[in-house]
Structure 1
Amino acid sequence: MALGSVSVIAANQQQGEVTAIEKYFLFVGIGPEHVGELVFLNAQSDLDAELGSASSQLKTQVAAAQLNGGENWACIAAPIAESTDWDAAVDLGTGYAKGVEAVVDCRVINGNANRLTQSQNKADALLAATGRRIFFMIAAAAINNDAEDGQSWSDYITDTAAIVTNAVAPRVMIVPLIFPDALGILAGRLCRADVSIADSPMRVATGTILGRSSADLPVDMDGVTYSNAHALALNNARLTVPQVYADQAGVYWSDGQMLDVEGGDFQVVENLRVVDKAARRVRLILISMVADRRLNSSPESIAWATTRLSAPLRAMAKSYVFQGIPFVADIEPPQEGDIAIQWVSRTEVRIYMVVRPFESPKTITAYIVLDLSAPA
């Protein structure tokens, strides 16, 4: 006869919180201090103390991001020297803890289209090696408005657009320095705590950009001020730029355009960000399912796995209405059939998932008609 025995096992269902890296960016750029190190910054950081009192390419963009990012903003900075290996700085920053969502490359691209390929390849290599998903934001040169040997807006738009001509880099965004700190302004705008990753930087309700006004808009060699006509031309070339609205105070932004192919799903940054967020969370669940026989081809198992895999999507889909005002989630709630599980063999499974962003009005037209009917 066996002896009496009681065991209590606390099963780990892996239902805890996941560390979020969204809105946590790595800034890489030339700076005088802490070269080869990581500098951790937030909204309260003294940038002169952390990045050096002298002006630098890196500090200019970080300062703009700090101002536009709001009270909960934080980032990692990786100062480099002119001769420093950029690749090593990116590895150092993206390899820290859970990583970062984006790399803000403060070095001006200066017409070197190879930088686009290098950045896309780096993002692809990081995804392949570690499963980490990042995108790159890269600065393009400001206009040369010297009166004698400078550029007209036509020259500048042509030269800047040439950088991205025929480029296919869905994880790369190019930001012309219409303002000297335009890259940092946009990076901060994308990281505000009161704005979803599913929102475009074009969102006017976010407010005007901080630190710059329409009085700071640059002129070309002929003294012509940057206008929405120039913004449209740059936007049509797949660049992301500031814009203004007539009779609306302040400066706002265009779409955050990625260099995806024409017709691609990831031509704007918000689409890429919501898919990346879902992928990061689903990946952790999938890792925990490796060689777990609870995932099998039985109907009960498929239902269990579908429920479990849909959990991060349901979390991303939590909207709320307060006082009649909708606070919209990152994505729409998952529907029946949005997750499908296919058994390829007894040891290989494929999972298909659908993520649905909400609509976002970027071109709005109102028609006003008269009612001249006789009163009732």
Structure 2
Amino acid sequence: MALGKVSVNNLNLGQGGVTEIERYFLFIGAGPKNAGKLIPLNTDSDLDAQLGIPDSDLKTQVKSARLNGGDRWSCLAAPIGADGTWAIALETAQQQGYSIEAAVITTPVNSGTELSAMHDAAVELNSTYGRRVFVMAASAGIAAAKTWSDYLVEQKAITKDLLAPRVLVVPQLHGNDLGVLAGRLANAAVSIADSPMRVASGSLLGLGPVPTDSENIPLPSAIRAELDNARFSVSQTYPDYPGVYWGDGNMLDAPASDFQVVEYLRLADKAARQVRPLLIRRVADRRLNNSPNSMAAAVSALMAPLRAMAKSATFAGQVFPGEILAPKDGDIVLVWLSKTKVEVYIKITPLNCPKDLTANIALDLSNDD
């Protein structure tokens, strides 16, 4: 014999969104106030109150980032004192649960060893916390006693033979280049799939004065080009076209790598952040098994964030593309290595993007009316 029983349970099917951390950067640098603390900032923040009234490189870069970051800009600042280091500030932010897309370290580096240490720290964050971060570093601008040739030799020695795929380095030619680029990359009006080179994003705002060398020669375009070839990220101009723009966001990756520019790394990292919680939810869940229906359901679920990244819009006859091409059959593959271990292979495809355009013009000298 038995008594009747009725229960109603809420089933969590894991269909909600994943919090996006893209465009949220951590600025680390020497500051006269709040050393050792983590200071959230946005467009309304009083930088003098939060970072100190005296000028500092940290405040200069944050101010430039805010100017270029748009109306939704926000960041986390970590002033460090004389006895502090960027590594301690970065680790402290992680221990306190702050998820960031990039760490912006304002103290200029002098050697490739320092950049290599920054890359190692970024890799370690992924290993320890499962958080994907890239680093924006600075190198010094030109000293008053140096010629442009001297400066170029000095800078090229920093990145020579260096492999640091999660590091982007910016020469402080105008004094605030690093902050300007950080703001441009954090602007919510621009897709993370867009290169900072994109002219349609507008010219750079608040870039410092044009530097000159010991012979009073203004920054030549040839020096910018050589710095770009050495994998630095620099501003650029177009003759007879107003405004100052940016070049590629060069990562210190190897030739022929897939991640030589920042927009490709950002896309892969975003996809990874979106997929990771979906995989965590499926740990020891027998609904994911090697039956055809289960495999198809898992592939469909993992494709959902990729479809969202690929979503485009059409307005006024123009198509505003998504971050990637829409995923198709075969872009996600599940492989069972054993009864309890699964590997997932995911392919994302960025859209083509023109960075080198050439027009060929011919005359039509025919006599046709």
Matching residue of 2:294: 301
Q: Determine the C-alpha separation between the residues in 2 that align with 1:190 and 1:224.
A: 30
Distance 1:279 1:98 in 2: 18
Give unpaired runs (5+ residues) of structure 2. none
- The 1:11–1:164 alpha-carbon spacing in structure 2 relative to 1, beyond 3 Å, is same
| Secondary structure of the structure 2 residue equivalent to 1:235 | helix
**Matches of 2:355 and 2:147, distance apart in 1:** 29
Q: CA deviation at 1:154?
A: 1.1
Of residues 172, 175, 184, the one that matches 1:177 is 172
What is the Cα-based RMSD across aligned positions, in Å?
1.1
SS in 1 for 2:242: strand
Residues 176, 207 of structure 2: 8 Å contact kept: no
**Counterpart code for 1:134:** V
- Name which of structure 1's ranges 88-97 and 50-59 shifts more when overlaid on structure 2: 88-97
Q: How does 1:270-289 map to 2 (within 5 A)?
A: 270-289=263-282
How far 1:374 sits from its partner (Å)?
2.5
Q: Verify the 8 A CA contact 1:76 1:93 in the aligned structure 2.
A: no
Offset at 1:98?
Answer: 4.8
Rounded Cα–Cα distance in structure 1 between residues aligned with 2:314 and 2:227: 37
* Structure 1: gaps spanning 5 or more residues: none
Q: Is the 8 A contact 1:152 1:222 kept in 2?
A: yes
Q: Secondary structure at the match of 2:61?
A: helix
- Is residue 2:340 matched to residue 1:347? yes
Contact 1:178 1:242 in 2 (8 A): no
**For residue 195 of structure 1, what is the aligned residue in structure 2?**
190
Deviates more, 1:178-187 or 1:11-20: 11-20
Deviations 1:315-342 (A, max 9, x none): 1000111111121111110011000010
SS at match of 1:29: strand
Quick one: distance in 2 between partners of 1:98 and 1:355?
Answer: 27
Contact 1:26–1:94 under 8 Å retained in 2: no
Alignment of 1:119 onto 2:122: no
5 Å-filtered alignment, 1:26-41, equals: 26-41=26-41
Paired position in structure 1 for 2:15: 15
Residues 82-125 of structure 1 show CA distances to partners (whole Å, capped at 9, x for unaligned) of 3213211001223444510000000011x222111111110111
1:144 corresponds to: 143
Equivalent position to 1:158, from 146, 153, 164: 153
8 A contact 2:86–2:105 mirrored in 1: no
- The alignment of Structure 1 onto Structure 2 pairs a total of residues equal to 369
The share of aligned pairs that are identical, in percent, is: 49
State the Cα deviation string for residues 182-229 of structure 1 (Å, max 9, x = none): 10000000011110001111000011100137xx21111111111221
For the pair 1:317 / 2:289, whether they are aligned, the reply is no
1:208 aligns to 2:203 (yes or no)? yes
Letter aligned with residue 135 of structure 2: F
Q: Distance in 2 between matches of 1:212 and 1:59?
A: 14
Tell me by how many angstroms 1:21 deviates: 0.6
Q: TM-score, normalised by structure 2?
A: 0.98
Question: Paired residue for 1:337?
Answer: 330
2:48, 2:98 → 1: CA distance?
27
CA–CA distance in structure 2, aligned partners of residues 127 and 321 of structure 1: 37
CA contact (8 A) 1:41 1:74 kept: yes
Query: For the residues of structure 2 that align with 1:46 and 1:373, how far apart are their CA atoms?
Result: 67
- Letter of the 1:250 counterpart: G
Amino acid at match of 1:40: P
Give secondary structure in 2 for the equivalent of 1:347. Answer: coil
The structure-2 alpha-carbon separation of the partners of 1:49 and 1:15, relative to structure 1 and needing over 3 Å to count, comes to: same
1:248 Cα offset (Å): 1.1
- Using the alignment, how far apart are the partners of 1:198 and 1:93 within structure 2? 26
Residues 266-314 of structure 1: per-residue CA shift (max 9 Å, x gap): 1000000000000001000000010011111110011000000101100
Partners of 2:111 and 2:357 in 1: CA distance: 37
Deviations 1:22-78 (A, max 9, x none): 000000000000011011100111111111100012101101001111111000000
